[in-house]
Structures are given as structure tokens and as C-alpha cells.
Amino acid sequence: MIEFQNQIFHLHAGGMSYIFGIEEGVPQMYYWGKTVEVSDLKGLMSQGGMGWSTQADTQLLEMPVYGTGDYRSPMLEIEFADGSGVTEFRYQSHRIYDGKPKLNGLPATYTEQEKEAQTLEIVLYDALKKTEAVLLYSVFENGALARSIRLKNNSSEPLKMKRILSASVDFYDDDFETLTLHGSWARERHVERGKLFHGKKSISSSRGASSHHKNPFLALVRPYTTEQQGEVYAMNLIYSGNFEAAAELSSYPLTRMQIGINPFGFAWELGAGQEFQAPEAILVYSDMGLNGMSRIYHDLYRNRLCRGKYRSAVRPVLVNNWEATYFDFTEEKLIALAKEGKEIGAELFVLDDGWFGKRNQDNCSLGDWKVNMEKIPHGLEDLAAKVTEMGLRFGLWFEPEMVNPDSDLYRAHPDWCIHTEGRPRTESRNQLVLDLSRPEVCDYIIDAVSAVLSSAKITYVKWDMNRSMTEIPRSDTAHKYMLGLYRVMETVTSRFPEVLFEGCSGGGGRFDGGMLYYMPQIWTSDDTDAYERLFIQYGTSMVYPVSAMGSHVSAVPNHQTGRITPLKSRGDVAMSGNLGYELDLSKCSPEEKEQMKAQIAFYKANRELVQFGDFYRIESPFEGNYAAWQFVSKDKQESILYAFKKMTVPNGKPKRVKMTGLDKDTYYETTYQNQRIKGDVLMNVGIILEETAQDFESFAIKMTAVPDVSAGKE
């Protein structure tokens, strides 16, 4: 997968080539794209030298730095003790080996067998300042490329890192558009496609989390690229904190694409002899459109980023009491809801916010992780036992990273929250962020969460985080917080390997690869309106696998939007993720409950296909009146198409949908008018959805391969 010849490195796998060489000690980028067999592409590079520019400014640089005459954004920016910032990194050595190293203290993709990936480490050295930069590349069999950088200060003086990005790629090319995922609370990861312009186009977060607003993902796509075809170059950061991703078009025309920790608000002192490991970026090239890119991400993240028992175990159907009761519950109410959940076929009952301290609203008790005996008089152990006896698992909500000023924890440790002395402590949702850059705060969280998890039969945790950071005291706090958080999560998740952890941050405010390393599923959005979920889940699937997405059926009128939608559509959208029910079941009619029962039964029969099959986006809700996506099992024997008509159009025209990903020679028994249809027909001719005059109508078509047809054909 990695070759080295004539000072040229060729990383290739899964139809992708990434080629760069060392010229006069400096790594120069040659090519990233569809695989080529020849590595020596030097003669095909521009010789540089435009008017009013230096050579460096027109080169494709593998590790751009400040001060060399390259005026684009660097990957590294250092301020040495003498105030200087010019660096001169030169190739010193390299090493190629099977497998992939762990990244100290950070989440990262991994291998289980060494042959699954090959790694290249290149050591570059600045002799004057005795500073070492190690570029890390691991190429996986499916073509995904993990990149990061480690900086080491070998001098006897400290240096200050002002910028250390994880990946930077230069292209002699400007035929690109950008594709990013933007949003807000309850409207996460909407797809946005736009033009490059001369200058730097960037997305970032400085909120102390990857955020609802921008996801740490950037793709450059060709103007002609669609879901099914065309070239895509993508970067995704395995990190849950502040990030920046940028595409910079200079005049020549060269495009530079970068991703890493957000340099804004960041600085890090690296003492003599110290090292800094930057987070990992996953680079994916596809010439099979956006779906091609997504499938590479999905497979890698599902299998070699997620860990633990639930990486490949089917996820339970849950009932959550949040939208059913909010804070207003008693033990009897919870038991009644669990019972009704059990009756419709749910497997897990989740007790959400409000079970601890004296919390009856969102204004107190975060930090006091002791059960509220007024609301749950027999305690958690007893409640969990009662739920377990019903044949359900019991799960619990936490928000461990936060503290309310009205809490025993805050009264005991008012200095434990993120704050700047002498400045206001801005509250959001009446709460402050605990300062996880401090080891004693992390230890408190580990102990508090562990004590609750050991006290009762809890087999699921929803780990929430409900505000952004403000008044951050130092430029290294936000990253130190992430390192602290990752230590906390590593400790708690490995201490309780039987527990299924679901990440959450006001819904999908921290939906990123960093979280997936610890928690294999994430609550996708606080917006449970199925119509809005079309956009959110479609966008989320660009990078993240369906097995990562929590998705619930909730009541109508919907609590976030007031919209009334059919239960069938709500079910079909929620079944396109990890299914749950989050509504007061006692208010549902017997017919509705029967329908839910049928949904759960269908889901249970098909969830392996949904959670672990290939996912294809077919129709984008951002573009037309339809959204459609399809699940196909790895062996192409089974598939489900879900299609959704957004609004009824008077005298509407029936919609033709073409399937994808099937075996062209296989016959499928379909629930489309119970017809038996061959794969090539389903994919090229498609089927016509006969709509009725109903807004937000959904269609589900199951396809099952007919085993004996090819034999009968002879």
C-alpha cells in the first residue's frame, strides 16, 4: 500500500493514489486522486516562478510552514523563545510499517490486524531550532487515509505553537466546489454546496465543541459531481473540539485544502523535550460521487473507529421519557411508560433528565449525581430492577461535564467551572462548563458517574452536553479540556464495557468522529420532527454511518415545530437510524400502538440491514419534493428503499425512483405491488411511486433476493 522509490512516496489502496516526493529536503505534493501506476510525476509539475512570487508560493507543499515565501495559510505556525517564527523543516528519515499507531490521548481509527493498514512516518527537522515534525500517514485497505502530525521540541527553550493543523493538501487545480455541513440547534448538518473564490473559504468552531453550527468536514467536489458519480476529495477531523477546515484558492490557480484544530483562540506552549500530537484527519477520495465517499467513511468508522461490544451488536429499540414527561414524572409514571414500551416491543427504557439532585427544571443540580428520592422513592437500583424484571434494559441520562450554580458541587467548588478571574460567568441553560482541563475535575466526574453506574443495573447511558464555552481563561484550555474529556470517556467506557453509550449535545452538537471512538451512537438532533429529520439525517449520512444515528418517533403536533405528520412517515424516518420512541404512550390510541408494534417488529427483522448494510442516498430533500435513500446488505441479498414525498402537489406527478447498489443479475421479490423484479431493472428503469393527496407521505419497499431464479434461467 505504501511504496518508496527515488525519494517518492506512493500511498495507494482502494482505487486511490496519494503521491508526494522529497525535493531538496522538502516534501512536495504531486498527486491525490484515482489510482495511477507511475509514481514519478515530477516532470508533470509546474516549474513555478510567476511574477511577484517566490518559488514556494507556487509549489504544492506537503507541510506548508510560515516564512518561506509561501503566502497561503500554513499548516504550522510557531513562535520561538526569541520571538522568531521562520522555520526550515528538512527531511531527516522515514519509516514504513504495517498497522497503525495509537495517538496518545486522542481518539483515532485503528487496525485489528496489522495488514489492514500501512503507516508512513516522516521525520522533518529544523536544525536551527531543534524542532522535529513527524508527519503520519496510514492508508487503509478501502482507500481511506489517516493523517496527523506530531511536533517535538528538542531544544532547551520552550516554543509556542500558534497553529498546528492535521492535514494540508495542495492541488494544481481550481475546478472545485465546496461541500460542507452547517446548521444550528435542532437543524444540524444541512448540506451546503458553494463555489470557491480567490481567497480562503473556511468553516470553523470556537465553541469548545465541534458544534451544531459546523461539522468538522469539508469536501471539494467537481461541479459535475452528484451522489452517484464524479470526483470528491474529503477531510473529516476525528476531534470534538474547536476546528477549522478551509479551501484556499490562490491566483495561479492552486487550491489548498486544510483541516485541524482551530488556530483562532489557540496557542500551546511546548516546553523543552515536550511533544504535541495533533488530532487525526481522515482523507477520502472517491470517483463514485458523494455516495462513494460516504461508504468509505461509513465502513471505516463503523468498523475501525467505533469500539467495544456495540460496535457490531444490533442496537436496542428504546423508549425515552424526555418528550413524554420532561421533568414532570413520578416513579409510577416511569413504570407505566416502560410497561407500554414493552408492550409495543421496545427493549430498553431510558430515564432522561430530572432524576437527580432536586432537579425539576433545568436550573439546578447538574453536578450532584445522586438520585432524587422524592421522585424515585425506592432509588435507582430498585427502579432499574423493576424495569429489568419487565424484560427491558434500563438506561440513564447524564450531563457530566456541566454544573449549575445552584448545586452542591458548585457551592463546594466554585472555581471548578471554566471562567476568567474578574470576568462575568456567562450562563447558558442556567449552567456553566466544568473545567476538564483540570485533572481533579475529571477525576470527580469519573468517580461520580462510576458510582451511579455501579449502583444499579444500568446498561445504557445518554451522555449529554448542553452549552458552549465562554470566558475561556487560556488559549490552551479548550484543547486541554478535550484531552481531559477523552480521558474521562476512555476510563468510564472501559470500566463499564457492557454499557451502551450514546453521545448527545443538545441533540447533535457534538456529532463527530471523536465521540464515535468512545460512544458508537449519538442522538442526532433535538428536532424529532420527522420532516426536519429528512434533512438532518441526509446531511449526517454524508460522513457518519447510520448505526451512529439515534432517531425517535415522537408525538404530533411535534414539540419543536408544531407539525403534524403521519405515524407511518415518522416511523420510516426513525427506522432509518437507531429506532426509539419518545412520546407519552398512554396518550396513543390502540390503533397507533398496533402500528408502532408493527414498526418495531419490522425494524427488528431488518435492523442489521439498516445498521450495518450499505447506505445510499438517492434523492436529496434539499433539491426536490422527494427524499429517498436505500439500505443494501453487504451480500446484496436484501434491501429497503425509503422514499418520502415532502408536500402534496395538486394533480401531482408520480415519481420514478431508481434503486442503486443491487446485484444487476439477481431477481428480487419486492413489496412494490408484490412484483418480482430483476436488479438491473430496479436500478435502470426504477419504479414509480404512486402518491396520494397526503403531505409528507412515505414509501417503504423491501427487496429480497430470490435464490433459485438464476438456476431456473438456464
Beta-bridge partners for 275: 152
- CA atoms within 13 A of residue 708's CA, in its CB half-sphere: 1
Give the Cα separation of 675 and 672 in Å (integer): 6
Nearest in space to 479 (alpha carbons), one of 160, 271, 266: 266
Shortest Cβ distance from residue 627 to ligand GLA (Å)?
A: 23
Kindly state whether residue 501 participates in binding ligand GLA, applying the rule CB under 6 A. no
Kindly state whether residue 506 participates in binding ligand GLA, applying the rule CB under 6 A. yes
Nearest in space to 508 (alpha carbons), one of 180, 213, 281, 203: 213
- For residue 100, give the 3-state DSSP assignment: coil
Q: Whose Cβ is closer to ligand GLA: residue 340's or residue 353's? A: 353
Shortest Cβ distance from residue 206 to ligand GLA (Å)?
A: 21
Shortest Cβ distance from residue 291 to ligand GLA (Å)?
A: 29
Kindly state whether residue 368 participates in binding ligand GLA, applying the rule CB under 6 A. no
Give the Cα separation of 352 and 65 in Å (integer): 48
- For residue 599, give the 3-state DSSP assignment: helix
Among residue numbers 631 through 650, which ones bind ligand GLA (CB under 6 A)? none
Q: Whose Cβ is closer to ligand GLA: residue 116's or residue 352's? A: 352
Q: Which stretch binds ligand GLA (CB under 6 A): 196-204, 238-246, 274-282, 504-512?
A: 504-512
Q: What cell was used for 247?
A: 479551501
Nearest in space to 144 (alpha carbons), one of 310, 249, 280, 9: 280
Among 188, 227, 231, 352, binds ligand GLA (CB under 6 A): 352
Q: Whose Cβ is closer to ligand GLA: residue 132's or residue 362's? A: 362
362 in active site: no
Give the Cα separation of 460 and 501 in Å (integer): 6
Q: How many residues bind ligand GLA (CB under 6 A)?
A: 12
Shortest Cβ distance from residue 204 to ligand GLA (Å)?
A: 23
Q: What cell was used for 291?
A: 455516495
Among residue numbers 237 through 296, which ones bind ligand GLA (CB under 6 A)? none
Among 227, 435, 526, 697, binds ligand GLA (CB under 6 A): 526
- Going across the sheet that includes 676-678, the strands are 614-619, 626-632, 638-645, 697-705, 667-670, 676-678
Q: Which residue has the cell 507543499?
A: 61
Q: How many CB atoms lie within 10 A of CB 502?
A: 26
Shortest Cβ distance from residue 360 to ligand GLA (Å)?
A: 12
Q: Residue 71 belongs to what H/E stretch?
A: none
526 in active site: yes
Q: Whose Cβ is closer to ligand GLA: residue 110's or residue 581's? A: 581
Q: What cell was used for 222?
A: 467537481
Q: Whose Cβ is closer to ligand GLA: residue 365's or residue 633's? A: 365
Among residue numbers 590 through 609, which ones bind ligand GLA (CB under 6 A)? none
- For residue 626, give the 3-state DSSP assignment: strand
Nearest in space to 209 (alpha carbons), one of 261, 268, 282, 258: 261
Q: Whose Cβ is closer to ligand GLA: residue 463's or residue 631's? A: 463
**What sign results for the dihedral spanned by CA atoms 678, 679, 682, 684?**
negative
Q: Whose Cβ is closer to ligand GLA: residue 188's or residue 526's? A: 526
Q: How many CB atoms lie within 10 A of CB 421?
A: 7
Shortest Cβ distance from residue 483 to ligand GLA (Å)?
A: 24
Shortest Cβ distance from residue 233 to ligand GLA (Å)?
A: 33
Kindly state whether residue 663 participates in binding ligand GLA, applying the rule CB under 6 A. no
The residue type of 188 is: E
Q: How many CB atoms lie within 10 A of CB 411?
A: 11
Shortest Cβ distance from residue 339 to ligand GLA (Å)?
A: 22
Give the Cα separation of 20 and 8 in Å (integer): 6
Residue nearest to ligand GLA (CB): 353
Kindly state whether residue 466 participates in binding ligand GLA, applying the rule CB under 6 A. yes
Shortest Cβ distance from residue 678 to ligand GLA (Å)?
A: 44
Q: Which stretch binds ligand GLA (CB under 6 A): 258-266, 307-315, 468-476, 503-511?
A: 503-511
Annotated catalytic residue, options 464, 476, 512, 572: 464
Annotated catalytic residue, options 526, 527, 572, 663: 526
Give the Cα separation of 364 and 354 in Å (integer): 10
Among 231, 353, 512, 614, binds ligand GLA (CB under 6 A): 353
Q: What cell was used for 588?
A: 396513543
Contact letters for ligand GLA, residues 370-409 (x by CB under 6 A):
---------------------------x------------
Give the Cα separation of 355 and 325 in Å (integer): 12
Among 30, 31, 460, 523, binds ligand GLA (CB under 6 A): 523
Kindly state whether residue 464 participates in binding ligand GLA, applying the rule CB under 6 A. yes
Give the Cα separation of 140 and 116 in Å (integer): 6
Q: Which stretch binds ligand GLA (CB under 6 A): 257-265, 294-302, 340-348, 499-507?
A: 499-507
Give the Cα separation of 594 and 130 in Å (integer): 71
The residue type of 365 is: S
Shortest Cβ distance from residue 198 to ligand GLA (Å)?
A: 40
Torsion, CA 240, CA 302, CA 446, CA 483, rounded to 10: -30
Give the Cα separation of 518 and 491 in Å (integer): 10
Kindly state whether residue 322 participates in binding ligand GLA, applying the rule CB under 6 A. yes
Residues at the site binding ligand GLA, with contacts judged by CB under 6 A: 322, 352-353, 362, 397, 464, 466, 504, 506-507, 523, 526
State the catalytic residues.
464, 526
